[in-house]
Copies of this chain bind each other. A is one copy, B any other.
Amino acid sequence: MTEGSDNAGAVEPVIADLRRFRMDVAYDGTEFSGWARQPGVPTVQGVLEDALGRVLGHRGAEHSVEVTCAGRTDAGVHARGQVVHFDSSVAVPFRPLQYLNHLLPDSVRARSCVEVPQEFDARFSALSRCYQYRIADSVEAQDPLRSAFVLTRLRALDIDAMNRAARPLIGEHDFAAFCRRREGATTIREVLELDWRRTEDGLAVMTVVSDAFCHNMVRAITGALVAVGEGRLPQEYPGATLASGTRSSYAAVMPAKGLCLERVDYPAGVVELVRQAQRARRMRELP
């Protein structure tokens, strides 16, 4: 038997036409080896597909429901607003979302599930992804109730310096210097928003919104900006690195712990969903 997207249909007799569903998911990534299913290790996709398979009654198949996500988060990265889609022939498949949550580990919660047009693709229809990176850079900001998703640093961060250093990264650029390159894929991305702010409870929080991110990109950018914020590298460093187009080892890629996928935005109408998916697919392939 070959693996493929029609796997579920081969196992279960088709009751009705396949319908498409969008599900919003939150997870504490601490104990997971990332999003993508891998044999023998806990992954978010793995536990989600297994639980969903049971709710939808696709028994007997090892991999019966295939779930596609908006952002394939790395090991240890969290999500509050991950979006996935999947297809199901079961008419009202998850009426009790609570039953699905009951089957999931406490670290993963399905927050909503709605039927969407077939044109909706969690990955390719997305207009943008929003990530946040949270740092407690003072003892006052340390909160044991949030320690699972906030990184502790001992040196105080200069928010203004980081925002000045971030400016050259905003806009459409080749982010090769901040990415792990992948054969046949472009590293051009459009960063729509990139800013640091100090929250009421004393955290330094970076918000970054981009049409898409290459592998490691957020954590590499964060590392460069934190090096500036701690006074270890000059303010010009991130912009100069971007322009150079080659990875530099002066600033480290930041740990996964502080990173969280907060939100994914999609167009409203079906026509726009299709257009955006075509645009995204084209953009990810090198000309």
Contact = CB atoms under 8 A, between A and B. Distances in A.
A143 interface: yes
Interface in A95-111: 97-98, 101, 106-111
A199 interface: no
A189 interface: no
B26 A143 contact: yes
A136 to B, nearest CB: 9
Interface in A11-49: 26-28
Q: How many copies of the chain does the oligomer comprise?
A: 2
A1 interface: no
A40 to B, nearest CB: 23
B139 A101 contact: yes
A80 interface: yes
Nearest to A144: B28
A145 interface: yes
Given A98-B154, A111-B139, A145 B144 contact: no
B106 A139 contact: no
A147 interface: yes
